[in-house]
Each structure stands twice: as structure tokens, then as C-alpha cells.
Amino acid sequence: MAKEKTNFNVVFIGHVDHGKSTTIGRLLFDLNLIDENTIKKLRDEAEKLGKKGFEFAFVMDTIKEERERGVTIDLAYKKLMTDKFQVTIIDAPGHKDFVKNMITGASQADAAVLVVAAPEGIQPQTQEHIFLARTMGVKQMAVLINKMDATKPEYDQKQYEKVKEDLAKLLKTAGFDTSKINFIAGSAWKGDNIAKKSDKMSWYKGPTVREQLDLFDLPQKPIEMPMRMPIQDVYTITGVGTVPVGKIETGVMKPGQKVIILPGRTYKGILGEIKTIETHHESLPSAEAGDNVGVNIRGIGKQDITRGDVICDVAKPATMAEEFTAQIAVINHPTVIAKGYTPVFHIHTAQAPCRFEALLKKIDPKTGEVLQENPDFLKNGDVAIVKIKPMKAIVLEKQSVNPHMARFAIRDAGATVAAGICIDLVEKKI
């Protein structure tokens, strides 16, 4: 069997209406992953709605609607095969979806494509998305300076250079190495430098968006770190027994390995031994970070474990947090966040109510400087250091120890209100 290509998650970010959805739609169309008839229908629909030129954007937007209706659509999960990767594209229209996509579920972005419209340049969401991408651990970035067909004059190199210079300053401030970032000059609507080279900008010598996907570095699998597998679900399979399933976040798992499941039913951890590891009904001699597997563990019953527990190597177990300090970004809260607020935290596969014990300081998202010590409240757009008290036992690790087990989303009333990462914790003793 041919070795499957490495899955690579790319999130498209940027200010509203700068062309993220159109870029993705155009890319899929030019690679023959969407047919002419579909685009024609979307073009007619867009014109009827008074949104001429939105046909490529509607490719992603129809997917979003159908996803929300719970219908499985081919295109949403269609893998874009490149020479190097099997790419999963994540469209990030607004703050809420951006964070949800970036942090919850398996879609941890390996790289981001920042889309900025050439005529407008940097806008408020451009800055916020750059900072959020950095906060959430996206290390690789490319920039599409889009709508080059709308500059005056058309395809104006001077405007491209100006936007590129402004963006380079901002990206440096956020901590990105701009020597490794390509700034692509393109037009998603016209198809310039998206999947095909454009003949309109002879001055531009860089890659297309399609070529850029293969220029990203292969993400390093964190296999050197201690083994961690958050449990997604627990099944009982006749003839096998209890089978927890999930994605191994870090390390390597092998049959015969002694493990501890935290917190477990007792909140003190449950000891066991890996008997077998399976994926797609095939037994594996070992599994590593990034693999989705089902495992049979000797000594563990279904009543002992649940979704949100974490299977760890017994020699190097994860920490459980009595209380923790985190850096958070408030994304979409209807009012303000104050001390005592107790929303649900989504940490790997766990969900737990956690209380805001203290708001320590507000930070400037562009520079990291402290703006205010001990603020009374936090509102949308604020980035802050806070102290949090979980209301039940949770497995959480510090960013400096294991960033893969340190990120979380904060949800309330069905919406993602904030996102963050644990920077310090007081360990809960078992």
C-alpha cells in the first residue's frame, strides 16, 4: 500500500471582505475540484442576490451553511492533494469561526495564509488575526496581497510594495520571521497567481498560492515528548472489550506500555497496560503523534474512563490543574468578562466549567506591552493574563512543557467567547 501523504492543515485568515473565501473557491476551481456547472450556478445566484463576483466565495459559504444543517458534504472534507501534502483547507471568515477552527477539534493549523486586499492594506482584523495565529501556535505564514486587479493603476507594483512593507513591520512585531514569509501578488477573482501564474505582473517572481502550499515545511511530529492521548469516545466492542479512541497528541504508544489514565473515574488516575492499538481495523505495532487510533487497555473497564480523560505514559504522566494562569484573547463576548465568570472551557477533548479567579493584566496585542494591571473587566478584542480555577479535575499542561496540551477555547451559550493558552499552573495532587 502506498504511504499516505502527510496531512497538512492550512487556515486562511484576514480582514472581512479581503477575499479569503474567494481565494479558496478559485483555487479549488482552477485545480478542477469544482466543475464549471457548479460555478455557473453560484454565479447566477450571486448576481440574483446583488453580489456579482461572489461566485467563488459562495463555494465555501455553501459548505458552511450545509455543515450547520448537519449535512455531510464532499467538498468540505475533500483533500487537496499537492506534490508533498494532503492539504485540509480551513476557511476562517470571522473571529468566532477562526478560533473554533484553530483550537477545537483536530484542525490545529500547521500554517496560515493571510489574505490582505491591496487597495485597502492593513485593517483591524488583519492585525488581530496575525496576533491570534501567533498566540495559537501557528509558526508558518504566507501572505496573499489580493485584489491586485483593483489597484489604480491595475496590478500596480508600487501599491504591492507599500502593502508588503507595512505587513512585514506588523508581522515582525507579532514575532514572525519575515525572511521566511512569501508575499504573493494576486487576484483571486481573476485567478492571477492563485493556481496559475499570471501574465499581468511580469515584475512578480514569487510562487502562486498553489505552489506556496508545497513550500511550507513539514510539521515536526512531537514524538520525543511524553505520550498523551486525549480520549474522544469510549466504545465496548464484542470480543475485544473497552476501546477508547482518540488522536495521539504527543509521543509514541506501543503494546505492552504501562499507562495511567487521568483524571479517570476516581480523579486519582487509573493504571493499565496497552494491549492492542488499531486504526481502520488494522492492528499496529506502534502509533505516534498525529495518529487517530483505538486502543484496548488491560485492566480498564468502560465505567472507569470517559471522553476528556487522557492516556499518559505512567513514567511521565501529565499534570492536573488545581488552578492555572493563562493568556487569553477575548473574541466574541456579548458583554464583558469579570472576576467570578464561570464559562465552559474546551481543553483538548475535555469540557469543564472554570471560574475566573483574577484578571491580572491587559496586554497590547500588537506589542505584548502591559496596558493595565488588575483590570475590572475584559471586553472583545482584549488580550489578558488571567488566573483560572477549574470546577472539576482536568488534565492541562504548561505551554513551556507541552504546547499541544496547553491550548483551550472558552465557550458560553453556544459561542466561542475567548481562546487561550496555559502559561503556568498549580498542580492538583492525586
pLDDT value of residue 72: 33
Report the distance separating Cα 183 and Cα 143, nearest Å. Answer: 5
- What average pLDDT does range 318-330 have in this prediction? 94
> What is residue 196's DSSP assignment?
B
Indicate the pLDDT class of residue 332, thresholds 50, 70 and 90: confident
pLDDT value of residue 129: 77
pLDDT of 105 above 60: no
pLDDT value of residue 90: 64
User: Which of the pair, 38 or 208, is modelled with greater confidence?
Assistant: 208
Report the distance separating Cα 389 and Cα 404, nearest Å. Answer: 20
pLDDT value of residue 365: 66
Report the distance separating Cα 372 and Cα 384, nearest Å. Answer: 9
Indicate the pLDDT class of residue 75, thresholds 50, 70 and 90: very low
State pTM to two decimals: 0.67
pLDDT, tens digit, 9 for 90 and up, residues 76-88: 345 688 998 878 7
Report whether 236 contacts 250 (CB < 8 A): no
Could you give all domains of the chain from N- to C-terminal order, each with its CATH number? Answer: 6-215 (3.40.50.300), 228-313 (2.40.30.10), 321-427 (2.40.30.10)
User: Which of the pair, 264 or 53, is modelled with greater confidence?
Assistant: 264
> What is residue 320's DSSP assignment?
B
pLDDT of 107 above 60: no
Residue 351's DSSP bridge partners are: 346
pLDDT, tens digit, 9 for 90 and up, residues 156-186: 999 999 999 999 999 988 789 999 999 999 9
Indicate the pLDDT class of residue 108, thresholds 50, 70 and 90: low
- What average pLDDT does range 32-44 have in this prediction? 84
- Measured CA to CA in angstroms, residue 7 lies from 24, 63, 197, 218, 252 at distances of 18, 21, 25, 9, 18
pLDDT value of residue 71: 37
- What average pLDDT does range 372-379 have in this prediction? 96
Residue 126: all three cell numbers together: 488583519
pLDDT value of residue 424: 97
Q: What percent of the chain has pLDDT over 90?
A: 50
pLDDT, tens digit, 9 for 90 and up, residues 237-273: 877 788 999 889 999 999 999 999 999 988 889 999 9
